[in-house]
């Protein structure tokens, strides 16, 4: 009965995605921890951390696809929500350093001691507790998105104007976080992390646990977004995307639906950022750069807008290509390659990789089967 229910609510690509990510969540950490390094199935720790970073980007891509693919909101500022969640986790990790910092101050992070701060700013209170940091990784991006959406959606700002405003939002936050007097580490950001929940962030077991939690969060993110899109709420979102004025004339409070989707999307992006920071070991204002948000749009476009699974696939494929190109002699040409990929997908695969495959599959199933030609009988 459970299998029948899942098959009725989730398409085949979604079920395949769930199975693959669940298998990765189990196999990759166990392979890293239990198999000897000489085994061909052993996954090195640095590869596992790199894969964990890709999964964080996949969470960000799915959150963006929720508002762009299903609601028609092209956000060029989702990197800001990702970075806010990352800073929330980074603040917790900085509070765990204590006397092991360069200056040995049990309360103030090293950069505050260097800048001659006398006391901890009020907005750092509570970040010595992990549950508070996770809550803020969800709440801070969600609050910013709620306030931003409340002002813009009520004013009926749509289309390219909304996209430009979202880009301005992330650029403004980037400039603010670059300032040393903001209390977030300025240009250098937050780094030199030691522990998370009492375990060394560099330990192999900690890395494996972070990968498992990231994969689990990716599954939960997909399930939440999928649930939102298959309900009546999701049908209204699609109606808003395709004909916002008509949906409003039918009596729906369009701004409320857009606000809920935008806020949930931002909170999920913040959670992705919180998982990203302990795996890469740093968070700085560069994560707010508008180019990062635009790159996330490319991920979704490559994988397939409005598919959720395609957004995750696009994030992994593009970032794998980025890692491959930027580690050798081709590094200076990566941006040209990224632009070429986006142009190719826009012209040749406007529905993205997953969207195009689904369309081909649908056409194949819908194509009528031609009657077979009669076989000529031999003359007697």
| Chain segment 275-315, per-residue pLDDT in tens | 999 999 999 999 999 999 999 999 999 999 999 999 999 99
30-52 pLDDT, tens digit each: 999 999 999 999 999 999 999 99
Q: What is the average per-residue pLDDT within 224-232?
A: 93
Most confident of 145-149, 157-161, 240-244: 145-149
What phi, psi does 85 have (nearest 5°)?
A: -65, -40
- For residue 2, pLDDT over 50 is answered with no
Kindly state the tokens that stand for 129.
Answer: 């507790």
Q: What is the average per-residue pLDDT within 110-128?
A: 92
Would you state the pLDDT for residue 9? 60
- Could you give the 3-state DSSP secondary structure of residue 102? coil
Would you state the pLDDT for residue 360? 85
Q: For residues 277, 278, 279 and 285, what is the CA-based torsion angle, rounded to 10 degrees?
A: 20
**Per-residue b/e over 188-207, b at no fewer than 16 CB within 10 Å?**
ebbbbbebbeeeebeeeebb
**What does the alpha-carbon distance between residue 380 and residue 139 come to, in Å, rounded to a whole number?**
86
- For residue 211, pLDDT over 90 is answered with yes
In the chain, where the domains are located: 2-361
CB 76 within 8 A of CB 297: yes
- For residue 3, pLDDT over 70 is answered with no
Would you state the pLDDT for residue 101? 87
336-377 pLDDT, tens digit each: 888 898 899 888 888 899 988 888 877 777 666 556 656 556
Instruction: Give the pLDDT band (50/70/90) at residue 10.
Output: low
Q: What is the average per-residue pLDDT within 83-109?
A: 93
CA quadruple 218, 221, 227, 228: dihedral sign: negative
Q: Global pTM?
A: 0.93
**What does the alpha-carbon distance between residue 219 and residue 6 come to, in Å, rounded to a whole number?**
14
Would you state the pLDDT for residue 6? 46
Q: What is the average per-residue pLDDT within 51-77?
A: 96
CA 233-243-149 angle, 5° bins: 60
Q: For residues 264, 64, 141 and 108, what is the CA-based torsion angle, rounded to 10 degrees?
A: 140
Angle between helices 290-303 and 78-95 (to 10 degrees): 120
Kindly state the tokens that stand for 196.
Answer: 């998370």
- Could you give the 3-state DSSP secondary structure of residue 304? coil
- For residue 259, pLDDT over 80 is answered with yes
CATH of 2-361, one of 1.10.287, 1.10.3470, 1.10.8, 3.30.230: 1.10.3470
């Amino acid at each position: 009965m459970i299998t029948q229910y899942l098959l009725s609510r989730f398409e085949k690509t979604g079920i395949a995605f769930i199975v693959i990510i669940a298998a990765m969540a189990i196999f990759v950490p166990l392979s890293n921890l239990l198999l000897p390094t000489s085994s061909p199935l052993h996954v090195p720790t640095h590869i596992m951390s790199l894969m964990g970073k890709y999964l964080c980007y996949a969470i960000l891509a799915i959150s963006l696809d929720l508002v762009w693919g299903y609601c028609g909101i092209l956000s060029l500022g989702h990197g800001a929500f990702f970075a806010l969640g990352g800073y929330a986790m980074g603040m917790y990790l900085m509070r765990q350093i204590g006397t092991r910092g360069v200056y040995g101050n049990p309360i103030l992070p090293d950069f505050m001691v260097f800048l001659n701060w006398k006391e901890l700013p009020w907005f750092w209170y509570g970040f010595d507790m992990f549950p508070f940091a996770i809550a803020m990784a969800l709440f801070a991006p969600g609050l910013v998105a709620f306030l931003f959406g409340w002002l813009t959606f009520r004013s009926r700002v749509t289309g390219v104007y909304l996209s430009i405003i979202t880009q301005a939002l992330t650029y403004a936050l980037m400039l603010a976080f670059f300032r040393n007097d903001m209390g977030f580490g300025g240009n250098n950001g937050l780094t030199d992390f030691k522990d998370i929940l009492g375990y060394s962030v560099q330990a192999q077991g900690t890395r494996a646990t972070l990968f498992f939690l990231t994969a689990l969060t990716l599954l939960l993110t997909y399930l939440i977004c999928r649930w939102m899109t298959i309900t009546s709420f999701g049908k209204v979102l699609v109606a808003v995307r395709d004909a916002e004025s008509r949906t409003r004339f039918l009596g729906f409070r369009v701004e409320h639906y857009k606000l809920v989707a935008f806020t949930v999307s931002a909170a999920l992006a913040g959670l992705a950022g919180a998982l990203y920071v302990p795996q890469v070991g740093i968070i700085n204002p560069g994560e707010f750069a508008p180019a990062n948000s635009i790159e996330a749009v490319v991920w979704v476009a490559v994988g397939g807008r409005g598919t959720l699974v395609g957004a995750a696939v696009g994030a992994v494929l593009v970032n794998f290509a980025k890692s491959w190109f930027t580690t050798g002699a081709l590094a200076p040409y990566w941006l040209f390659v990224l632009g070429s990929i986006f142009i190719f997908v826009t012209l040749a695969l406007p529905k993205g990789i997953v969207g195009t495959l689904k369309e081909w599959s649908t056409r194949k199933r819908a194509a009528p089967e031609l009657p077979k030609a009669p076989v000529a009988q031999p003359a007697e």
